[in-house]
């Protein structure tokens, strides 16, 4: 992709669609950080596709001025992978929530990570199902009281960062919607990464989660700044130790460069877009007749 001559701004990535998120929702911060990252990268709007699932987070695809696709609950990754394989010239960004991505979509999440398709996956983690009025989610902590766990959650929360590393993901970041500067830079780095990039983003639900609030994350987050908190993001072992040590980290945890799925597919080699690939001229009549 070639950057445009004119400098892009956040306004270039905004739509006129009114948001229905609750006032103060962390997803506003995610949207602003993503728009800032895209403006900094200088892509044209038609060069970007945003794919979303279902939930409060799923509405984000309608608030970015680009191509967009609003998929089914937990099913954002399959069509996003197909879009990238069919048109490698597109920058495909997937957005969703913790219930969407780590619950019903967990199987797709694991296999997309190991496959290493060149995608950016932004998960807005608020540790609750917000759209359906406050039920326990895959990342809700033990003892968390919700509409479906009035006596406290008894199921151990999933650790999506450890799952991603174990599955073979090549870029792992974690951010906070209350940290605009850091989050925008993390999104920018993830989008530029050649491979499957996950940025787990803490996006507080101000209506149904009164525990993991903005202040909770401001107090709990440990920023990987390389100085006060040294970390080697090229080491998977160091990254795994970090995601399992009980702290809540903010920043780049792991980055590895290895061949993407599309770069290893014979049918896609030397082709920018599958739809532009020349027809082979092969006659499939005999093959089709076998199924009549």
Q: Is the pLDDT of residue 80 over 90?
A: yes
Count of domains forming the chain: 1
Q: Is residue 5 part of a domain?
A: no
Asked whether the CA dihedral 38, 251, 163, 56 is positive or negative, the reply is negative
User: How far is residue 106's CA from residue 188's CA, in Å, rounded to a whole number?
Assistant: 25
Q: Is residue 284 part of a domain?
A: yes
Q: Is residue 4 part of a domain?
A: no
Instruction: Give the strands of the sheet with 120-125, arranged side by side.
Output: 67-70, 48-52, 91-97, 120-125, 197-202, 171-176, 248-255, 221-223
Q: Is residue 235 part of a domain?
A: yes
Instruction: Tell me the percentage of the chain whose pLDDT exceeds 90.
Output: 84
Between 7 and 209, the more confident residue is 209
What average pLDDT is seen over the chain? 93
Q: What is the mean pLDDT of residues 4-21?
A: 86
pTM of the model: 0.92
Q: Which residues contact 93 (CB under 8 A, 6 or more apart)?
A: 34, 48, 49, 50, 51, 119, 120, 122, 191
For residue 254, name the pLDDT band (cuts at 50, 70, 90). Answer: very high
Instruction: Tell me the percentage of the chain whose pLDDT exceeds 70.
Output: 96
Per-residue pLDDT tens digits for 168-186: 999 999 999 999 999 999 9
Q: Is the pLDDT of residue 86 over 60?
A: yes
Q: Is residue 2 part of a domain?
A: no
| C-alpha to C-alpha distances, 222 to 13, 34, 174, 211, 218, nearest whole angstrom | 31, 22, 11, 18, 9
Residues in the chain: 292
Range of the domain at 121: 10-289
CA atoms within 13 A on the CB side of 121: 40
Cβ atoms of 115 and 152 within 8 Å: the answer is no
Q: Is residue 3 part of a domain?
A: no
CATH number at residue 197: 3.40.50.970
């Amino acid at each position: 992709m070639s950057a445009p001559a004119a400098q892009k701004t956040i306004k270039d990535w905004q739509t006129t669609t009114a948001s229905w998120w609750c006032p103060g929702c962390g997803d506003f911060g995610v949207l602003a950080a993503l728009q800032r990252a895209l403006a900094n990268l200088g892509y044209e709007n038609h060069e970007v596709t945003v794919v979303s699932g279902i939930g409060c987070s799923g509405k984000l695809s309608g608030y970015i001025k680009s191509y967009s696709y609003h998929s089914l609950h937990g099913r954002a990754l399959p069509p996003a992978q197909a879009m990238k394989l069919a048109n490698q010239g597109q920058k495909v960004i997937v957005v969703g929530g913790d219930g969407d991505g780590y619950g019903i979509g967990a199987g797709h999440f694991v296999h997309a990570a190991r496959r290493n398709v060149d995608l950016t996956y932004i998960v807005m983690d608020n540790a609750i199902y917000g759209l359906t009025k406050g039920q326990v989610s895959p990342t809700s902590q033990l003892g968390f009281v919700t509409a479906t766990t009035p006596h406290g959650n008894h199921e151990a929360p999933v650790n999506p960062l450890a799952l991603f590393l174990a599955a073979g993901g090549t870029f792992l970041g974690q951010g906070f919607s209350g940290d605009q500067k850091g989050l925008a830079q993390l999104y920018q780095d993830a989008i530029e990464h050649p491979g499957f990039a996950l940025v787990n983003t803490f996006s507080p639900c101000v209506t149904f989660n009164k525990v993991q609030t903005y202040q909770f994350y401001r107090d709990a987050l440990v920023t990987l700044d390389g100085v006060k908190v040294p970390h080697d993001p090229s080491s998977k072992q160091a990254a795994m130790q970090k995601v399992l040590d009980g702290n809540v980290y903010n920043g780049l945890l792991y980055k590895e460069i290895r061949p993407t799925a599309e770069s290893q597919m014979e049918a896609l080699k030397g082709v920018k877009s599958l739809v532009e690939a020349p027809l082979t001229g092969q006659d499939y009549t005999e093959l089709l007749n076998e199924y009549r």
